[in-house]
Amino acid sequence: MKLAKIFASMILILGLVYFLTQNAGENSKVYVNLLFQEFENASVSMIILSALTIGILCGYVSAVFSVLSAKSEVRSLQNKNRKLSDELNDLRNVAIDEGIYDTEGGEY
């Protein structure tokens, strides 16, 4: 639930930044050459907004995978702990064979 709140707040912040960057002037155009595409007149504010969005989404996805893997590890360790506790209780409750203490003379 905490990650959902963080994700919603990031979307809100990105929306606010988008509306704030709409006020940028026409003089803020640059040339951007990506490996797969070129942009002649890209707005600086949109480049910053895109980079921020991609960074936030990558961080969010990595955090989700980290939390999910930690939860699965905790679950597996709890199962292992439960199995070991059951085995220990079974070993504690094993009936003692009284015949092992019997000797020929009746002494213990």
pLDDT of residue 101: 59
The three-state secondary structure class of 96 is coil
Convert the pLDDT of each residue in 3-48 to its tens digit: 888 888 888 888 877 776 676 666 778 888 888 989 888 877 777 7
- The model's pTM: 0.58
Question: What's the pLDDT band for 53 if we cut at 50, 70, 90?
Answer: confident
Residues 2, 60: contact at Cβ < 8 Å?
no
Domain spans, the chain: 2-93
In sequence order, what DSSP letters do the residues of 12-57 get, joined into one string?
HHHHHHHHHHTT--TT-EEEEE-SS-EEEEEEHHHHHHHHHHHHHH
Percent of the chain clearing pLDDT 90 (strictly above): 29
- Across the range 87-103, mean pLDDT stands at 72
